[in-house]
Amino acid sequence: MNARPLRILLVDDHAVTRAGYRAFIEGTCDLQLVAETGSGERAVRLALEHQPDAVVMDLNLPDIGGIEAIRRLVQRQADARVLAFSQHQEVVYVAQALQAGARGFVTKTSPPSTLLEAVRLVGQGEIFLEPGMAERLTAYGTQTGTPELGQLSTREFEIFSLLATGATVSAIARQLSLSPKTVANYTTQIKLRLKVNSLAELTRMAIRHGVVRA
């Protein structure tokens, strides 16, 4: 008797991207798509409702963001199996996703076969990192000691990333469904943690770490 298919929740804010990966998932006999969404907040609710074997979580989402969604889900369900899926290849994003509780990381430049392999392994309780990624993570920690951005919580890193793109406090507040005062408080805390005095210094640090491009 064959084992039941692994049940998958797919999270990506681009409907065309979801459609493409839905087709790949549904084209296999051992994976079953049980739900999909383009919202981080809804992803947490759907994961708790459907109890999938694996959640494929894009990091760029329009509301709470993928890293924060991973953190919230793992906080409510410690054994949640989340595979971070992102256009970002910079090691700092890998480190933040794993810190939030992801069990794997795949870049969107990888072939679909790599994503399917990662989904299977994470869905079975294993860890998946693309070839060379573990070495990059080790080198990142070794070179920087305690990485500057490793001091930030997932929410702080999310706000740091948005500030570095030039987003205003009010725009970040709208995007993350926070009050402007809360975002302003986070901004102050981030500057203190990173020992920067201005948004220009913060942006230069983000460029140095590959969070944004010059």
Q: What is the CATH number of domain 6-138?
A: 3.40.50.2300
131 band by pLDDT with thresholds 50, 70 and 90? confident
Domains 6-138 and 148-208 agree in fold: no
Q: From the options 3.40.50.150, 2.40.10.120, 3.40.718.10, 1.10.10.10, give the CATH code of 148-208.
A: 1.10.10.10
Average pLDDT over every residue of 118-146: 77
**Above 50 in pLDDT, residue 136?**
yes
Across 63-67, 125-129, 139-143, 147-151, which has the greatest mean pLDDT?
125-129
More confident residue, 112 or 76: 76
* Mean pLDDT (the chain, rounded): 86
What is the strand order of the sheet 54-58 is part of? 31-37, 6-11, 54-58, 82-86, 104-107, 128-129
Spell out the domain ranges in the chain. Answer: 6-138, 148-208
To 10 degrees, the CA torsion angle through 94, 99, 105, 107? -30
- The pLDDT confidence band at residue 142, using thresholds 50, 70 and 90, is very low
Residue 97 contacts by C-beta under 8 Å, 6 or more apart in sequence?
A: 59, 66, 67, 70, 84, 86, 105
- Residue carrying structure tokens 């995007």: 175
Global confidence as pTM: 0.75
